[in-house]
């Protein structure tokens, strides 16, 4: 069999798997109602690099904030160990099967950053987690009140360039090809999530951000379906933007105040939310939610910062981002009051000084919670 035949057979298997995934989405169970659960289990994953440091401090803050519920057993904090780069490499799995089984005993996850090797075949743990738990909505808020910025990004989280990012085709000594996937049910559910958020939170503007003038099949369908969903929300203004010009408009003080809710495919959302976080004060200040109908994962948007560990500065890592993610987690599990207390304390604590340790910053936040 020649290289082209091998590639065609590989592509056929990928296509069949994605068609089956699309069918599963259409048959999915209703979303979990956290307000009706007697006990909510929060899994805590340390991750790599600075991950164990910032997750330890965020856990300490949550224990202070949720003491009564933890004592009563209505909330359980469950440490999940082993999702480290060393263990994943040793087992050759993005998420080792025993760890994934433990993860699925939890309702939501608070996760430290995990390292993804460059090259090779070991997939990102985040990408694998989103697929395994069907965490289709990546939700990232960014706020700079003094600049009139109050944005929230709804990034499709299980498709696009990432779903098959480690399964491309290679014709030796000639070319390589990766694949981008956009499904009808996958696009409908992320669009619905964005417009429902806008409706329920008094927002009247949604920006649909693609490159549909070039990626005519995938982004073209994403745009068309987003407008189909938008038609069900007549009080919300909708505009199409291309990703390249949107990256410029986020720093344009003459227009950026009009933006409220963003709806984007996977790769564009990954890139532009880091730009937006930088306007807020850096990626260390922003939390991120990965939400599905049955599970959800909350994390900092920055990486594992191996240089901080290598240079002996790990203790000075900033836990603010994962604490913002913890506040999002609390809202997701219907603990709005606790989330408001945590956000208020973080606002009062302000940016962590460079020479303040993560532990000292957590002490400050705990003191402000009262």
Calculate Rg over the CA atoms of the chain: 21
Position 221 scores a pLDDT of: 97
Residue 26: how many CA atoms within 13 Å on its side-chain side? 9
Whether the pLDDT of residue 172 is over 90: the answer is no
Position 284 scores a pLDDT of: 64
Look over the chain and give the mean of its residue pLDDT values, rounded to a whole number.
93
3-state SS class at 79? strand
Whether the pLDDT of residue 37 is over 80: the answer is yes
Position 145 scores a pLDDT of: 87
- Cα 167 from Cα 169, distance rounded (Å): 7
Position 315 scores a pLDDT of: 96
Position 7 scores a pLDDT of: 87
- Cα 122 from Cα 95, distance rounded (Å): 10
257-265 mean pLDDT: 97
Position 16 scores a pLDDT of: 94
pLDDT digits (tens, 9 = 90+) for 295-307: 999 998 788 999 9
Q: Which of 7-16, 210-219, 349-358 has the highest mean pLDDT?
A: 210-219
Q: What count of other Cβ atoms lies within 10 Å of the Cβ of residue 192?
A: 17
- How deeply is 223 buried, as exposed, middle or buried, from its count of CB atoms within 10 A (0-12, 13-18, 19+)? buried
Position 62 scores a pLDDT of: 98
323-332 mean pLDDT: 94
CATH class of 31-135+292-370: alpha beta
Please report where in the chains the tokens 């738990």 appear, as a residue.
Answer: 133
Whether the pLDDT of residue 329 is over 90: the answer is yes
Domain residue spans of the chain: 31-135+292-370
pLDDT digits (tens, 9 = 90+) for 100-121: 999 999 999 999 999 987 777 7
Position 168 scores a pLDDT of: 87
Whether the pLDDT of residue 358 is over 90: the answer is yes
Q: What percent of the chain is modeled with pLDDT above 70? A: 99
Position 85 scores a pLDDT of: 94
Q: What percent of the chain is modeled with pLDDT above 90? A: 79
> Which tops the pLDDT comparison, 164 or 187?
187
359-364 mean pLDDT: 97
308-320 mean pLDDT: 95
Least confident of 20-34, 119-133, 312-326: 119-133
- Chain mean position to CA 191: 16
Where are the extended beta strands (E) located within 14-68?
40-45
Position 43 scores a pLDDT of: 98
Position 116 scores a pLDDT of: 84
Position 120 scores a pLDDT of: 73
Containing 256, the helix (H) or strand (E) segment is none
Position 131 scores a pLDDT of: 86
> Which tops the pLDDT comparison, 114 or 370?
114
pLDDT digits (tens, 9 = 90+) for 2-32: 888 888 998 899 999 999 999 999 988 888 9
pLDDT digits (tens, 9 = 90+) for 143-152: 898 999 999 9
pLDDT digits (tens, 9 = 90+) for 265-295: 999 999 999 899 899 887 767 778 999 999 9
């Amino acid at each position: 069999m020649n290289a082209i035949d091998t590639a065609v057979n590989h592509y056929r298997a990928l296509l069949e798997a994605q068609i089956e995934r699309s069918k599963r989405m259409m048959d999915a169970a209703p979303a979990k109602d956290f307000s009706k659960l007697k006990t909510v289990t929060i899994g805590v994953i340390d991750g790599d690099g600075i991950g164990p440091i910032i997750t330890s401090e965020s856990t300490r803050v949550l224990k202070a904030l949720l003491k009564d519920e933890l004592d009563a057993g209505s909330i359980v904090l469950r440490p999940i160990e082993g999702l480290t780069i060393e263990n994943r490499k040793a087992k050759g799995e993005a998420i080792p099967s025993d760890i994934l089984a433990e993860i699925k005993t939890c309702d939501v996850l608070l996760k430290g950053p995990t390292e993804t090797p460059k090259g090779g075949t070991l997939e990102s743990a985040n990408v694998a987690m989103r697929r395994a738990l069907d965490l289709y909505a990546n939700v990232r808020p960014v706020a700079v009140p003094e600049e009139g910025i109050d944005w929230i990004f709804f990034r499709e989280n299980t498709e696009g360039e990432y779903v098959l990012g480690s399964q491309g085709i290679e014709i030796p000594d000639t070319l390589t090809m990766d694949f981008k996937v956009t499904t009808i049910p996958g696009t409908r559910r992320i669009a619905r999530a964005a417009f429902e958020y806008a409706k329920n939170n008094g927002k009247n503007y949604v920006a649909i951000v693609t490159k549909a003038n070039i990626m005519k099949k995938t982004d073209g369908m994403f745009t068309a379906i987003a407008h189909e969903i938008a038609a069900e929300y007549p009080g919300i203004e909708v505009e199409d933007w291309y990703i390249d010009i949107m990256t410029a408009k986020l720093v344009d003080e003459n227009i950026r105040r009009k933006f409220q809710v963003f709806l984007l495919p996977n790769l564009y959302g990954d890139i532009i939310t880091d730009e937006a976080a930088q306007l807020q004060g850096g990626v260390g200040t922003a939390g991120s939610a990965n939400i599905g109908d049955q599970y959800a994962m909350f994390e900092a948007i920055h990486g594992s910062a191996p240089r901080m560990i290598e240079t002996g500065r790990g203790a000075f890592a900033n836990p603010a981002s994962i604490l913002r993610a913890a506040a999002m987690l609390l809202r997701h599990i219907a603990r709005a009051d606790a989330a408001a207390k945590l956000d208020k304390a973080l606002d009062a604590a302000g940016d962590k000084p460079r020479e303040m340790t993560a532990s000292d910053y957590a002490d400050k936040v705990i003191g402000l919670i009262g």
